[in-house]
Homo-oligomer: A and B are copies of this chain.
Protein backbone atom coordinates (compact mmCIF):
# COMPACT_ATOMS: atom_id res chain seq x y z
CA UNK A 1 0.00 0.00 0.00
CA UNK A 2 1.30 3.45 -0.85
CA UNK A 3 1.75 6.15 1.71
CA UNK A 4 -0.47 9.14 1.06
CA UNK A 5 1.30 12.47 1.26
CA UNK A 6 0.69 15.11 3.90
CA UNK A 7 -0.82 18.52 3.22
CA UNK A 8 1.55 20.80 5.12
CA UNK A 9 0.04 24.22 5.66
CA UNK A 10 2.23 27.18 6.57
CA UNK A 11 0.32 30.33 7.52
CA UNK A 12 1.49 33.57 9.05
CA UNK A 13 0.97 37.28 8.80
CA UNK A 14 2.90 38.93 6.00
CA UNK A 15 6.47 39.57 7.19
CA UNK A 16 6.73 36.75 9.73
CA UNK A 17 9.26 34.81 7.68
CA UNK A 18 6.97 32.34 5.94
CA UNK A 19 8.46 32.53 2.44
CA UNK A 20 12.03 32.26 3.70
CA UNK A 21 11.13 29.19 5.77
CA UNK A 22 9.14 27.59 2.95
CA UNK A 23 12.23 27.99 0.75
CA UNK A 24 14.46 26.36 3.37
CA UNK A 25 12.07 23.43 3.70
CA UNK A 26 12.24 22.91 -0.06
CA UNK A 27 16.04 22.98 0.05
CA UNK A 28 15.95 20.44 2.88
CA UNK A 29 13.65 18.01 1.14
CA UNK A 30 13.33 18.18 -2.63
CA UNK A 31 10.48 15.64 -2.61
CA UNK A 32 8.37 18.31 -0.90
CA UNK A 33 6.09 19.80 -3.53
CA UNK A 34 5.05 23.43 -3.33
CA UNK A 35 1.39 24.14 -4.06
CA UNK A 36 1.41 27.03 -6.53
CA UNK A 37 -1.62 29.22 -5.81
CA UNK A 38 -3.71 30.74 -8.54
CA UNK A 39 -4.48 34.43 -8.22
CA UNK A 40 -6.25 37.20 -10.08
CA UNK A 41 -3.85 39.87 -8.83
CA UNK A 42 -1.27 41.16 -11.32
CA UNK A 43 2.30 39.86 -11.02
CA UNK A 44 4.77 41.93 -9.01
CA UNK A 45 8.25 42.64 -10.39
CA UNK A 46 10.24 39.41 -10.60
CA UNK A 47 7.32 37.06 -10.06
CA UNK A 48 7.21 34.14 -12.49
CA UNK A 49 3.90 32.72 -13.75
CA UNK A 50 3.56 29.05 -12.81
CA UNK A 51 6.30 29.27 -10.16
CA UNK A 52 5.30 32.08 -7.77
CA UNK A 53 1.64 32.01 -8.75
CA UNK A 54 -0.57 30.96 -11.60
CA UNK A 55 -1.76 34.35 -12.82
CA UNK A 56 -5.29 33.98 -14.13
CA UNK A 57 -8.16 36.33 -14.91
CA UNK A 58 -11.32 36.57 -12.83
CA UNK A 59 -13.48 34.58 -15.29
CA UNK A 60 -10.99 31.75 -15.43
CA UNK A 61 -10.67 31.74 -11.63
CA UNK A 62 -14.42 31.64 -11.06
CA UNK A 63 -14.85 28.86 -13.64
CA UNK A 64 -12.32 26.73 -11.75
CA UNK A 65 -14.10 27.36 -8.47
CA UNK A 66 -17.43 26.44 -10.07
CA UNK A 67 -15.88 23.24 -11.50
CA UNK A 68 -14.72 22.20 -8.02
CA UNK A 69 -11.12 22.44 -9.21
CA UNK A 70 -9.98 24.54 -6.21
CA UNK A 71 -9.08 22.85 -2.92
CA UNK A 72 -9.60 26.19 -1.18
CA UNK A 73 -10.10 29.76 -2.31
CA UNK A 74 -10.59 33.16 -0.74
CA UNK A 75 -10.87 36.80 -1.60
CA UNK A 76 -8.19 39.02 -0.04
CA UNK A 77 -8.65 42.74 -0.61
CA UNK A 78 -9.82 42.97 -4.23
CA UNK A 79 -8.14 39.78 -5.45
CA UNK A 80 -8.93 36.08 -5.48
CA UNK A 81 -6.50 33.39 -4.39
CA UNK A 82 -6.92 29.63 -4.57
CA UNK A 83 -5.09 26.28 -4.50
CA UNK A 84 -5.72 24.11 -7.59
CA UNK A 85 -6.77 20.61 -6.53
CA UNK A 86 -5.27 18.56 -9.40
CA UNK A 87 -1.52 18.88 -8.66
CA UNK A 88 -2.17 18.29 -4.94
CA UNK A 89 -4.09 15.06 -5.52
CA UNK A 90 -1.47 13.77 -7.95
CA UNK A 91 1.31 14.49 -5.46
CA UNK A 92 -0.28 13.03 -2.32
CA UNK A 93 -1.50 9.94 -4.15
CA UNK A 94 2.12 9.38 -5.19
CA UNK A 95 3.17 9.74 -1.53
CA UNK A 96 4.70 13.19 -1.83
CA UNK A 97 3.97 15.86 0.78
CA UNK A 98 2.64 19.21 -0.43
CA UNK A 99 3.50 22.54 1.18
CA UNK A 100 0.84 25.29 1.17
CA UNK A 101 1.66 28.94 1.74
CA UNK A 102 -1.91 30.08 2.41
CA UNK A 103 -3.87 32.22 4.86
CA UNK A 104 -6.23 31.15 7.64
CA UNK A 105 -9.28 31.09 5.35
CA UNK A 106 -7.59 28.57 3.04
CA UNK A 107 -6.22 26.61 5.99
CA UNK A 108 -9.68 26.32 7.47
CA UNK A 109 -11.17 25.10 4.18
CA UNK A 110 -8.50 22.42 3.74
CA UNK A 111 -8.74 21.38 7.40
CA UNK A 112 -12.46 20.73 7.03
CA UNK A 113 -12.19 19.07 3.60
CA UNK A 114 -12.18 15.33 2.88
CA UNK A 115 -8.37 15.48 3.15
CA UNK A 116 -8.45 16.74 6.75
CA UNK A 117 -6.88 13.52 8.09
CA UNK A 118 -3.74 14.29 6.13
CA UNK A 119 -3.30 17.91 7.17
CA UNK A 120 -0.38 19.19 9.24
CA UNK A 121 -0.79 22.90 9.93
CA UNK A 122 1.71 25.49 11.16
CA UNK A 123 1.21 29.08 12.14
CA UNK A 124 4.19 31.42 12.47
CA UNK A 125 3.87 34.29 14.93
CA UNK A 126 6.17 37.34 14.77
CA UNK A 127 8.25 38.10 17.88
CA UNK A 128 6.58 41.53 18.07
CA UNK A 129 4.31 43.87 16.11
CA UNK A 130 7.19 46.38 15.88
CA UNK A 131 9.32 43.72 14.18
CA UNK A 132 6.47 42.78 11.86
CA UNK A 133 6.03 46.42 10.86
CA UNK A 134 9.76 46.86 10.39
CA UNK A 135 9.91 43.85 8.05
CA UNK A 136 6.96 45.12 5.99
CA UNK A 137 8.55 48.59 5.67
CA UNK A 138 12.03 47.24 4.86
CA UNK A 139 10.71 45.51 1.75
CA UNK A 140 10.52 49.06 0.39
CA UNK A 141 7.89 48.14 -2.14
CA UNK A 142 4.69 49.51 -0.62
CA UNK A 143 3.18 52.92 0.16
CA UNK A 144 2.39 53.69 3.85
CA UNK A 145 -1.36 53.17 3.37
CA UNK A 146 -0.68 49.77 1.77
CA UNK A 147 1.54 48.88 4.71
CA UNK A 148 -1.17 49.92 7.16
CA UNK A 149 -3.69 47.79 5.29
CA UNK A 150 -1.26 44.87 5.47
CA UNK A 151 -0.86 45.45 9.22
CA UNK A 152 -4.63 45.22 9.66
CA UNK A 153 -4.71 42.06 7.55
CA UNK A 154 -1.79 40.71 9.62
CA UNK A 155 -3.73 41.17 12.81
CA UNK A 156 -6.76 39.48 11.29
CA UNK A 157 -4.47 36.58 10.38
CA UNK A 158 -2.85 36.42 13.86
CA UNK A 159 -6.26 36.34 15.53
CA UNK A 160 -6.80 32.86 14.00
CA UNK A 161 -3.57 31.41 15.42
CA UNK A 162 -5.28 28.89 17.67
CA UNK A 163 -6.81 26.73 14.96
CA UNK A 164 -3.38 25.36 13.93
CA UNK A 165 -1.64 22.15 15.04
CA UNK A 166 1.67 23.88 15.68
CA UNK A 167 2.25 27.56 16.41
CA UNK A 168 5.84 28.78 16.41
CA UNK A 169 7.13 32.21 17.43
CA UNK A 170 9.67 33.00 14.73
CA UNK A 171 12.23 35.05 16.63
CA UNK A 172 15.18 33.07 15.28
CA UNK A 173 14.98 31.71 11.73
CA UNK A 174 17.45 28.88 12.29
CA UNK A 175 15.63 27.69 15.42
CA UNK A 176 12.23 27.86 13.72
CA UNK A 177 13.63 26.01 10.70
CA UNK A 178 14.90 23.21 12.99
CA UNK A 179 11.55 22.98 14.73
CA UNK A 180 9.68 22.73 11.43
CA UNK A 181 11.99 19.94 10.24
CA UNK A 182 11.69 18.04 13.53
CA UNK A 183 7.90 18.24 13.46
CA UNK A 184 7.61 17.19 9.81
CA UNK A 185 10.02 14.29 10.43
CA UNK A 186 7.94 13.19 13.42
CA UNK A 187 4.59 13.51 11.67
CA UNK A 188 5.87 11.34 8.81
CA UNK A 189 6.57 8.63 11.41
CA UNK A 190 2.98 8.64 12.66
CA UNK A 191 1.40 5.19 12.26
CA UNK A 192 -1.27 6.57 9.93
CA UNK A 193 1.53 7.71 7.60
CA UNK A 194 3.23 4.30 7.51
CA UNK A 195 1.09 1.88 5.49
CA UNK A 196 4.08 -0.50 5.24
CA UNK A 197 3.54 -1.33 8.91
CA UNK A 198 0.56 -3.45 7.93
CA UNK A 199 2.80 -5.60 5.69
CA UNK A 200 5.32 -5.97 8.51
CA UNK A 201 2.64 -7.12 10.95
CA UNK A 202 1.32 -9.63 8.37
CA UNK A 203 4.83 -11.02 8.00
CA UNK A 204 5.17 -11.32 11.78
CA UNK A 205 1.81 -13.10 11.97
CA UNK A 206 2.84 -15.60 9.28
CA UNK A 207 6.10 -16.22 11.08
CA UNK A 208 4.30 -16.67 14.39
CA UNK A 209 1.84 -19.19 12.91
CA UNK A 210 4.57 -21.12 11.06
CA UNK A 211 6.72 -21.72 14.15
Contacts and interface: CB of A to CB of B under 8 A. Distances in A.
Interface in A151-184: 151, 155, 158, 161-162, 164-169, 179, 182-183
Nearest to A196: B169
Nearest to A167: B191
Contacts of A161: 191, 197, 201
In this complex, the interface size class of chain A, counting residues with CB under 8 Å from chain B, is: 35 or more
Give chain A's interface secondary structure class: helix
Interface in A98-149: 123, 125-126, 128-130, 133
A93 interface: no
A125 B204 contact: yes
Interface in A182-211: 182-183, 185-187, 189-191, 194, 197, 200-201, 203-205, 207-208, 211
B185 A182 contact: yes
Nearest to A179: B189
Interface in A76-104: none
Given A201-B161, A204-B126, A207-B129, A167 B183 contact: no
B129 A208 contact: yes
Contacts of A165: 190-191
Oligomeric state, in copies? 2
A129 B183 contact: no
A130 B207 contact: yes
A128 B165 CA distance: 35
A186 B182 contact: yes
Contact of A200 (B125, B182, B197): B125
B182 A189 contact: yes
A207 B169 contact: no
Nearest to A128: B207
A197 B169 contact: yes
- Which 6 residue pairs across A and B have the least CB separation, nearest first? A186-B186, A129-B207, A183-B186, A167-B191, A129-B208, A182-B186
